Chains A and B, each alone.
Chain A
Amino acid sequence: MARLELQRVSKLLANRQVVLQDIDCTVNDGELISVVGPSGCGKSTLLRCVAGLDKITSGDIRIGGQRVNDLPPQQRNVAMVFQNHALYPHMTVYQNLAFGLRVRRVARAIVDARVRRTAVRLGLEALLGRYPRELSGGQRQRTALGRAMLREPGVFLLDEPLSSLDIPLRAEMRRELSALHTALGTTMVYVTHDQSEALSLGQRVVVLADGQIQQIDTPDGIYKEPSNRFVAGFVGWPPMNFLDGDWLENSGLDAHCIDYGIRPERLLLQPSSSADAFIAGRLERIESFGGEWQVEISRNGSRVIARVAPNPELRRDNELRLWFRREDLYAFDRATGRRLQG
């Protein structure tokens, strides 16, 4: 178990292109932190840098208080799980699990005992003789996890471990992973491009874009108090609506150099004592999700989506008003994208 500290970590490619810039982040001992961002934002590179597979250009990485910048991967006390599982196709589940111990020339009897204990824990004991190609996606993932667990690392690094699984299985594995984290109590860094996965799994969430940290906060904090326009638009589904000046011409709000945003679930079909402001547009589309509808209104080519309760009175192409409370609006500086408080 170990605390992971990143201090002003930057990575540049040979052509001076910036992959990571001034990453400052501390993952507490035993914490599960998720790192989320669009593809190409540098999140996988960040993980590889922590693991020592890629070199950083500047800054410091400390694991358990020890500076590991110059240590090779095997001395960093980390284990990694990859998106494609990275199981050895020519080895059985048993051999895959035992790989690290065999490489380090641990005695056979000890290897055997530890491999079997881990296999039982992950429900793999009946599959030890199988090859990866004979396993289901979930079983492969468990094997890859087991191999990482056998390393007994201070920090687990998980690089999109669930994205190659289908959706029901993903939800199941997410629960298992969460339970595993509780049971092991090991520090985990979980990288994903899926914001819902990041929010549901992480005790805290790091939002990364263009190689820079946009925000670090609890899932609730990220959702309720996004620190800038990028985070506000990236986290939440459907994404936050950004309202340009046209939408707000009747509201008395100054939309001159400020972007206003509102979450789809904060838009209401009816006014109330507190929800006394509205936006209006032509109802373009109604999408039913059973218990909830998503309605889309448009005005001068820009669109707003609202999540509302099913309402049979709604008609397409009619003018529709969506009401909201002024305090539900988020305000962002148009030039910098930074959130404006108050």
Chain B
Amino acid sequence: MKSLTALFFILPALLLIVLFVFVPLIGVLGLSMTDFNIYSLANGADLHFIGVANFIHLLHDRAAWQGVETTMTVVLVGVPATLALSLICALMIESISARWRGLFRTAFFLPVVCSTVAVAISWRYMLNTRYGLVNRLLAAAHLPTPNWLGTPSLALLAITVVVVWKGFGYGMIIVAAARREIPDELYDIARIEGAGMMQQLLRITVPMLAPTLGLLALLDAAGYWQLFAEPYVLTQGGPMGSTMSLLLLMYDRGFRWWRWGVASALAMVLTVIMWLFAWLQRHTRAVWRGD
């Protein structure tokens, strides 16, 4: 009886989740084992079950591996950069006078709440080789003015910068809140013992913030694995596929080339990776909390 009542209460949410998460997921899993493409749309007889052939195809697809490499690069460079920026800005806004704190907090947080597409479009203008703000400033300083989005090695760097710039404000707010939770007496003791600013940072602040930073690293990494809008707007995956993230590749295979089977297989791979992050987050939560 009691469990029936409980079921009644969770039913609406459960229905929505089943309808919009599990059904599509099973659909995608099914699609990923077919050769569904634009021809199958016209003639169902062209649709065949091909087992794990799509996944095997992906294993041999250089574009897929490049997608992994591109995405991993953004994660491996972007996550530490985001964390560092979040930490530095959080400590900065916590140490300046309250009068300016709100201003800086708002300024740093603004990119987080802006539409990704709008942000990416603004950056595309700013990174424009001839008229962009970035190159104008570089030119004014008599520095080289590269073609940021047209050079393979620079395009991914530019995208990482945009991603980090857009994301660090979120972490900053979280880190700042965690920093406020550290009792002042811990720093008083450190001052009496003679610990300087750097020692206080390394021996107290950073270890005390480690649980928060760890959690943020996981959240950021999970987010950056799903990189899509920035390269979609800025480079469409180019030049020469150098900014083709996994998600963008899935979109490309699905909506550009109508190869739904392959795209679904990619989606499944990404799903598994995301599950991995969810699992990591669950199982490291105790560690982050310090229990």
Contacts and interface: CB of A to CB of B under 8 A. Distances in A.
B24 interface: no
A88 B290 CA distance: 12
Interface in A181-225: none
B191 A89 contact: no
A80 B186 contact: no
Contact of A90 (B183, B190, B290): B290
Interface stretch (B2-10, B113-121, B160-168, B202-210): B202-210
Interface residues of B, number: 18
A238 interface: no
Interface stretch (A70-78, A166-174, A245-253): A70-78
Q: B-side binding surface: helix, strand, loop or mixed?
A: helix
A89 B185 contact: no
A148 to B, nearest CB: 9
Contacts of A151: 192-193
A86 B207 contact: no
Interface in B206-262: 207-208, 210
A100 B193 contact: yes
A257 interface: no
Interface residues of A, number: 26
Contacts of B186: 86, 88
B205 to A, nearest CB: 11
A84 B194 contact: no
A41 B184 CA distance: 20
Interface in B32-88: none
B203 A74 contact: no
B290 A80 contact: no
B183 A104 contact: no
B189 interface: yes
Interface string B159-198: 0000000000000000000000001011011111111000
Nearest to B210: A90
A91 B189 CA distance: 14
B269 to A, nearest CB: 37
Given A88-B204, A89-B290, A90-B210, A103 B185 contact: no
A100 B207 CA distance: 17
A81 to B, nearest CB: 9
Nearest to A104: B194
Nearest to A85: B185
A79 B290 contact: no
A179 interface: no
Interface in A30-73: 48, 51-53, 72-73
A53 B208 contact: no
A230 interface: no
A86 B189 contact: yes
A295 B212 CA distance: 57
B192 A103 contact: no
B190 A103 contact: yes
A82 interface: yes
B191 A73 contact: yes
Contact of A79 (B190, B192, B204, B208): B192
B122 interface: no
B199 interface: yes
A293 interface: no
Contacts of A48: 188
A131 to B, nearest CB: 8
Given A88-B204, A89-B208, A90-B207, A100 B194 contact: yes
B192 A73 contact: yes
B169 to A, nearest CB: 27
A79 B189 CA distance: 8
A75 B191 CA distance: 10
Interface in A75-120: 75-76, 78-80, 82, 84, 86, 88-91, 99-100, 103-104
B204 to A, nearest CB: 7
A284 to B, nearest CB: 45
B211 to A, nearest CB: 9
Contacts of A80: 188-189, 192
Contact of A84 (B185, B192, B203, B208): B185
Given A88-B204, A90-B207, A90-B290, A104 B188 contact: no
Contact of A51 (B192, B204, B208, B290): B192
Given A80-B188, A89-B290, A90-B290, A74 B207 contact: no
Given A76-B192, A82-B189, A103-B193, 11 more contacts: A51-B188, A52-B191, A73-B191, A74-B193, A74-B194, A80-B189, A80-B192, A88-B204, A89-B208, A90-B207, A100-B194
| 10 smallest beta-carbon distances between A and B, as pairs | A74-B194, A86-B185, A100-B193, A90-B207, A73-B192, A103-B195, A82-B185, A73-B191, A103-B193, A86-B189
17 contacts: A53-B188, A72-B194, A73-B192, A74-B192, A78-B192, A80-B192, A82-B185, A82-B188, A84-B183, A86-B185, A88-B186, A88-B207, A88-B208, A99-B203, A100-B194, A103-B195, A151-B193
